[in-house]
Amino acid sequence: MNAKKRQPKPDGLCRLTGHTGRFVKSHIIPQALTRPAQKNLPFWQLHPDRPPVRRWSSWYDSALVTQTGEDILTAYDTWGVDALRREKLVWGGWGTQQSLGSLHHAIGDSPWGVRKIESIDGGKLRLFLLSLLWRAAATDLPEFSAIRIPEEDLETLRTLVCSGDPGSPNFYPVQLTQLSTIGRIHNHAPIARIKSIPILDTDPLQHEPAPIFRFYFDGLIVHFDRRKLSLTEVAEASNFFVGHQDTFLVTTQTYDGSLQSLQSINIQVQEF
């Protein structure tokens, strides 16, 4: 019996470059950051509105970009994965470590902490993360349906990613939280959430709601602020935003009690 011939990928309009060409397979989040717990075995992929499912490869779109567009994204991914691992911002850079240890300052007996990042190009890191936001918003994959932004913002993102410009500080400001202890490896689809933000100029116990997009991969949590913040508002909290100063702060949280640990309970239920 003759083997079934693989159908060639169709030609189409690259959503990143705007040029027509042959589509190529493109991961929405780098495959290196969406690895299975054990090599050559399937892993769990999570979505807040769907049951956990097993996958052999992380999310990819075969009708998003051509090779030219993929080359742009690959350059961001190559740099970004290396930088995140080198600074131990993702579990893949920890080696045999089970916690951040002295790399972060734990706040008393709480699960929270903070660490300062000083030896990474914040502008490049912001661009890499913006490229992930663009991919998630531009793809038609159902797992990314929560990441919807205005067309004019999507076009601005596309232009920034193509040109290598990190853009205005108040355009989807990015904050990072990393899990300070090792937990179960899984993939979690990006979601839209409301985050509670302390009001610094008034009673510190008062908070305001802030709509965000939340991405998760390999122990790192990325928040894209969706509010229309002024440049002054961003400057007041610039230490916590990626790419606006030579150094920036990353909040930390132990795996136990985090959203990711709660999601892993869903996995255990499925396995049981």
Residue 267 has pLDDT above 70, yes or no: no
Residue 265 has pLDDT above 60, yes or no: no
Structure tokens at 85: 């691992």
Chain-centroid distance, C-alpha 92:
15
Residue 79 has pLDDT above 70, yes or no: yes
Mean pLDDT taken over the chain: 86
Q: Which segments of 71-206 are extended strands (E)?
A: 105-106, 112-117, 174-179, 187-198
Distance of alpha carbon 159 from alpha carbon 81, whole angstroms: 22
Across 12-16, 33-37, 108-112, the highest mean pLDDT is recorded for 12-16
Summarised one tens digit per residue, pLDDT across range 13-33 is 999 999 999 999 999 999 999
The pLDDT of residue 268 is: 41
Q: Which residue has the tokens 């990819």?
A: 60
- 270 vs 169, higher pLDDT: 169
**Rounded (5°) CA angle 165-80-63:** 75
Across 109-113, 121-125, 258-262, the highest mean pLDDT is recorded for 121-125
The pLDDT of residue 90 is: 97
Task: Report which secondary-structure segment, H or E, holds 214.
Answer: strand 207-217
Residues 56-61, mean pLDDT to the nearest whole number: 80
Which of 227, 66, 196, 210 lies closest to 74, judged by CA? Answer: 66
The pLDDT of residue 47 is: 60
The pLDDT of residue 177 is: 95
- What is the signed CA dihedral for 51, 223, 256, 263, rounded to 10 degrees? 0
For the chain, the structural domain boundaries read 11-32+42-271
pLDDT band at 195; cut points 50, 70, 90: confident
Residue 255 has pLDDT above 80, yes or no: yes
Which of 232, 221, 151 lies closest to 193, judged by CA? Answer: 221
